[in-house]
Chains A and B, each alone.
Chain A
Amino acid sequence: MDVGKIIGAAPLPKIDGVSNKANFIKVDKNDGNDFLESIKKGLDSVKNIQDEADNKIQQAISGNDIEISEVMISTLKAEMSMQLTMQVRNKLVDAYQEITRMPI
């Protein structure tokens, strides 16, 4: 029986882009510091935000002319960026623990 005669049934088309070489998982073999660098950069910017909030709080409690809303918003930013940092740290620790549990 010729399967092709049945309406709707056709041989699977060849999927493009998949080859045996699997070149889509391309690992850059430079010194591997890129990830570390971006983490450091992120930590630096979090520190900048925290310093800004610290600065504004100092100004507010020393009686300088600064808006309360400005102080609160910068502390809010510091809080949010700190939480984001903690989440990134949690992900890193999770990944590390995942690797330590790997059966060999």
Chain B
Amino acid sequence: MDSIFDSLEISATGLSAERFRMNTIANNIANANTVSSTDEGAYRRKSVVFRTMTDDSFYSSFSSNLQECGVEVKGIVEDKSKPQLKYEPGHPDADENGFIRLSNVNVLNEMVDMISATRAYEANITAIDSSKSMVKKAINIGNY
């Protein structure tokens, strides 16, 4: 790939990756108050792992320099920490000792992650705008 629009495509991968991260954060916040009677059933906080997307086509394996083509979502990992225990004997999900399991989501952490995702999204959009103005400047070479 070698075109004036490459940077736009790369920034587009960044945008969709950040959007995916935002979905995960929204899911965490939405499930912050879910309860369960067992440790296994409790909601675990999920976070996204990114990695560099490389052009792994047949021809690029012959070229020495790796061509970076953006970012992609490698996967989703779960926070393995224990769910919060809460003593609530009257709850329908309470176990024999009267405890329910809340999720291990800390809403404050999610808020900070959300701001981070928003800012990263904005950074990618700024990169797109800069690419656009570079192309515009290139189109207008010699007109002034």
Contact = CB atoms under 8 A, between A and B. Distances in A.
Interface in B118-144: 128, 132, 135-136, 139-140, 143
**Contact residues of A: prevailing secondary structure:** helix
Given A67-B19, A69-B19, A73-B128, A80 B139 contact: yes
Contacts of A77: 5, 8
Contacts of A87: 139-140, 143
Chain B: interface size category: 10 to 19
Interface in A60-104: 67, 69-70, 73, 76-77, 80, 83-84, 87
A57 B4 CA distance: 22
Interface of B: 4-5, 8-9, 11-12, 15-16, 19, 128, 132, 135-136, 139-140, 143
A35 to B, nearest CB: 19
B124 to A, nearest CB: 8
Interface of A: 67, 69-70, 73, 76-77, 80, 83-84, 87
B12 A69 contact: yes
Nearest to B141: A87
Contact of B12 (A70, A80, A83, A84): A70
A67 B23 CA distance: 13
A80 B135 contact: yes
In order of increasing CB-CB distance, the 4 nearest A-B pairs are: A69-B15, A80-B135, A73-B12, A84-B139
Contacts of B12: 69-70, 73
A100 B108 CA distance: 72
B132 A69 contact: no
